[in-house]
Amino acid sequence: MSDTAHARNSSGPQTILVLNSGSSSLKFGLFSAGQPERSANGAASAPDSSDSSDEALLLEGSAEGIGRADGRLQVKSGDGKVLLQTDHTLQSQTEALHKLAEILAQHGHARPVAVGHRVVHGGPHLRDHQRITPAVRKQLEDAVHFAPLHIPPALALIDQASKTFDDALQFACFDTAFHRTLPPVAAQLPLPRRYAEAGVIRYGFHGLSYESLVRQLGAELPARAVFAHLGNGSSLCALRDGVSVHTSMGLTPTGGIPMATRSGDLDPGVLLYLMRTEGLDADKLETLLNHQSGLTGFTEGEGDMQALVKRCAAGDQHAELAVDAFATAVRKYVGAYAALLGGIDLLVFAGGIGEHSAEVRRRVCAGLEFLGLRVDDPAGKVRTLHTEEERQIARHCRALLQSSS
């Protein structure tokens, strides 16, 4: 974007558009600094936060099922009013972005001064939230082998957003940034040192979610905490004084506990066995570990936790094994992190499963009473919070804009 265009955009409402890309979905949020923006008819869009110094949500939504016949597009105002909900087949994220630009104009919102992208993995050289320059884009392209499932679609979205919103600065916010504080004993893997020097280390993920939880808790965050972000992708993080000291995911988002379609941690000998007996190459192993394993593997096709809990109630043994394996893995990590931290003052559940599945929370905490962790504890050592990844990205973008002005 040219300096002239930036100056023109900066003179109007300072809106920031956040894009959170998935494999077949695109979540988005439009934020303004503190006070809600007024639309073309003079009406104020109500923010969903009482903190006048924080990012105010003006518009949010998602395009689900991109490229599928069951696609759906939903847009809501900052106060939760549904502005648009339609069964709409969007063929690509490019088309979804074009539709989003139309929606912003229809509702009288100013074009964004910045677009913030959630980037899952930036490789060893991109660990700070930053503006996307040609050099940064090249570094992302060079890091594709660290996250071949995540970085290519992120790059495609960045390129398209740069065209659709050509008068806005583009920023990358990395899920790995929060875990830069990992000590060597957590970050370095038990491999020859030359691999660590080449970037083969524990990076950790869901960092933007964890950052938002730290901010929400503020002064209420105790010295020893464990956060469990449980959703289609799930991880846990051990925090001392609000700083990440260990996390369950490793080099990639495939590690840790079993997830909807991802295996989580495996004996590496399993992979060697499959390579030798079934002739699986890297691409086939990647498909197996990321798309056919975890809860989906236990049940031969069902990875949705809500559906699995219903099947458990109906006596489905495969569903029971899947849910039990998931909850047991989470509980094991909580116990391990209690040993690492010397106790736990607070356990926080977040993410789609963590926030909405009381059954999973109950199963995780069953057996953790010796740590003082009970789901019905009035003392509040177990809490459930709504993660705010999009707002956290907007905060970073706002800070980066201000520091560069």
Q: What are phi and psi of 99, to 5 degrees?
A: -65, -40
**Residue 346 near residue 222 (C-beta atoms within 8 A):** yes
pLDDT of residue 95: 86
Please enumerate in sequence order all residues whose Cβ is within 8 A of that of 116, keeping only pairs 6 or more positions apart, or say none: 16, 17, 18, 19, 171, 172, 173, 393, 394, 396, 397
- Higher pLDDT pick, 70 / 400: 400
The larger pLDDT score, comparing residue 4 to residue 363, is at 363
pLDDT of residue 127: 95
Task: Copy the structure tokens of residue 396.
Answer: 């970073």
Q: Alpha-carbon Rg of the chain, whole angstroms?
A: 22
Helix (H/G/I), strand (E/B), else coil: 293: coil
Share the mean pLDDT of the chain: 90
Residue 278 confidence (pLDDT) above 50: yes
In this prediction, residues 272-287 reach a mean pLDDT of 97
Least confident of 54-58, 100-104, 125-129: 100-104
Confidence of residue 10 (pLDDT cuts 50, 70, 90): very low
Whole-number pLDDT of residue 53: 67
Can you give the pLDDT at residue 12? 56
Tens-place pLDDT, residues 290-343: 999 999 999 999 999 999 999 999 999 999 999 999 999 999 999 999 999 999
Give the three-state DSSP class for 19: strand
Residue 13 confidence class, pLDDT cut points 50, 70, 90:
low
Model confidence at 22, in pLDDT bands (50, 70, 90)? confident
pLDDT of 91: 84
Going by pLDDT thresholds of 50, 70 and 90, the confidence category of residue 3 is: very low
- pLDDT surpasses 60 at 36: no
Residue that the structure tokens 């356990």 belong to: 347
Residue 49: pLDDT over 70: no
pLDDT at 23: 66
> Residue 7: is its pLDDT beyond 50?
no
Which domains, from first to last, does the chain contain?
3-174 (3.30.420.40), 221-384 (3.30.420.40)
Which tens digit of pLDDT belongs to each residue from 232-263?
A: 999 999 999 999 999 999 999 999 999 999 99
CA distance linking residue 250 with residue 256, whole number of Å: 7
CB 165 within 8 A of CB 101: yes
Beta strands in 230-268 (DSSP E): 235-240, 243-247
Q: Give me 5's structure tokens.
A: 């265009």
Answer yes or no: 70 catalytic. Answer: no
Label residue 39 by pLDDT band (50, 70, 90): very low
Q: Which residue among the candidates 175, 265, 283, 376 is catalytic per the annotation?
A: 175
Judged on CB neighbours under 10 Å (0-12, 13-18, 19+), 282 is exposed
Q: Pull the structure tokens for residue 384.
A: 């459930």
The answer on pLDDT for 40 being more than 80 is no
Tell me which DSSP letter residue 43 carries. Answer: P
The predicted-structure confidence for 376-400, as pLDDT tens digits, reads as follows 887 789 999 999 999 999 999 999 9
- Confidence band for 51, pLDDT divided at 50, 70 and 90: low
The whole-model pTM stands at 0.91
Q: Containing H/E element for 326?
A: helix 317-341
* pLDDT per position as a tens digit, 202-213: 999 999 999 999
Q: Are 362 and 354 in contact (CB under 8 A)?
A: no
Lowest mean pLDDT, pick from 33-37, 183-187, 233-237, 254-258: 33-37
Angle at 244 between CA 240 and CA 249, to 5 degrees: 135
Backbone φ, ψ for residue 98 (5° rounding): -60, -45
- Is the pLDDT at 93 greater than 90? The verdict is no
d(CA 95, CA 359) in angstroms, rounded, equals 38
